[in-house]
Every structure is written in structure tokens, then in C-alpha cells.
Chains A and B, each alone.
Chain A
Amino acid sequence: EVQLVESGGGLVKPGGSLRLSCAASGFTFSRYTMNWVRQAPGKGLEWVASISSISSYLHYADSMKGRFTISRDNAKNSLDLQMDSLRVEDTGVYFCAPPPEVAAAGTGYWGQGTLVLVSS
């Protein structure tokens, strides 16, 4: 069964940093592009960043470029997101998301997400 467990969220001041992690299991992690998706309070889903299977290609949403860094360790089935220069508007729940066909092979659900609160 596909399982995704995010961690690393918390309260941080504007300008600060956080590193999020995602532990994946139940599928062949090393085969797939992985993503981070976030959801600000009361708002919709926003794609944040993606990393290809062997880290050859990294992509970021425009507002995250230069501040966020996505990485993965296929030996550990883990996905990370280093977030620097955090802004109040980065507040939200951050989800680790596999391709939809991978999520669909399990229950269809992502993990519970990890809450990032950027506030002074």
C-alpha cells in the first residue's frame, strides 16, 4: 500500500528556514517523479516543486524559485524540501505527492501533510 509520511513542519519567523521530509513506501520510489504540493489555509492546492526519478530534472513554481530546494534519496525512499527565506504567504500544509497513477494504485490518498506556519 502506498504510504507517504511528511514531517519537519513547524512555526518559523519570516526569513527563516525549514526542511521538510517525506518517507515513502509501498511503491518503487526510485522510478517516479515526486512532487511537493501545498495548501494555504482555506485555499486551493498549489504545486510547489518536482524532482525526476534520478534527480536529473528539478522544477519549481515561480514564487519558490531561488528559495526552495527539492531533493531525494532513492536509497532511503525519501523526499526533502529545503525552504529558505520563508514568507508569511508560505504558510500552509505541505504534501508529498507521487504521480496520480501511483497514488491511485493505493487508496488514492496522499499523506497527512505537514503544517508550516510562518509568523513573527
Chain B
Amino acid sequence: DIQMTQSPSSLSASVGDRVTITCRASQGISHYLAWYQQKPGKVPKVLIYGASTLQSGVPSRFSGSGSGTDFTLTISSLQPEDVATYYCQKYNSAPYTFGQGTKLEI
């Protein structure tokens, strides 16, 4: 099975910082990579699918890139409301494995 490895597992940054979270697949998954945001006590929300397509309503400071095995989620200017845990997920074929998550703090 393909493993999904996120880094870092936790991250502390300041308001206005550029933040990058990476996700690496142990084998190629083309562009079948989604990013989820889960705020404390809330249900997960899809931010990005197809590696780079933003869900409508997601602020443009979020962006996704990558293909194959290496992917990134970038927040261009961190805002207080971005405090959350972020997960990547492969969805090219089962098992639809998640990364272990990246906890982002201000």
C-alpha cells in the first residue's frame, strides 16, 4: 500500500508568515491528492482537491501544488483563523490513506 507522509507534524508561525506543509506519497498518485483542514472541535473540511484546485470559498491565500509523489500546501499569509490541523489524502485508488496531520499554531 502507498504510504502518505506529512511534514512537519507540528508548526508554529506568526501572523503574516508564509507557511508550507509537505506531503509525500511512497509511490506516484498523479494529481489525486486532497488537503483537509480541521479546526479544533470541528468537522474536517476539504480545502483543495486534484492537488491544486481550491474549494470555492477557500481564501486565495491557500494554494496547493505537486504531482506524482511530492505535494505542498502553502498559506501565503497566515491568519489567526488558520489555526487547525491539516491532512493530506490520496484518492487515486484504495486504500485512501491520510497523512498523519500537521498541527498549525500561531
Q: Which residues of A contact B (CB under 8 A)?
A: 35, 37, 44-47, 50, 57, 59, 61, 95, 99-101, 103-104, 107-113
Contacts and interface: CB of A to CB of B under 8 A. Distances in A.
Interface of A, helix, strand, loop or mixed by DSSP: mixed
B43 A112 contact: yes
A75 to B, nearest CB: 24
A39 B91 CA distance: 18
Secondary structure at the B interface, as helix, strand, loop or mixed, is loop
Contacts of B97: 47
Given A44-B101, A45-B101, A108-B55, A50 B47 contact: no
Nearest to B99: A44
Contact of A50 (B50, B57, B94, B99): B94
A77 B97 CA distance: 25
Given A44-B87, A45-B36, A99-B91, A35 B96 contact: yes
Contact of A44 (B45, B49, B50, B98): B98
A100 B89 contact: yes
Contacts of B96: 35, 47, 50
Contacts, number: 64
Contact of B44 (A57, A99, A110): A110
B90 to A, nearest CB: 9
B88 to A, nearest CB: 10
A37 B44 CA distance: 11
Contacts of A108: 45-47, 55, 57-58
B12 interface: no
A113 B43 contact: yes
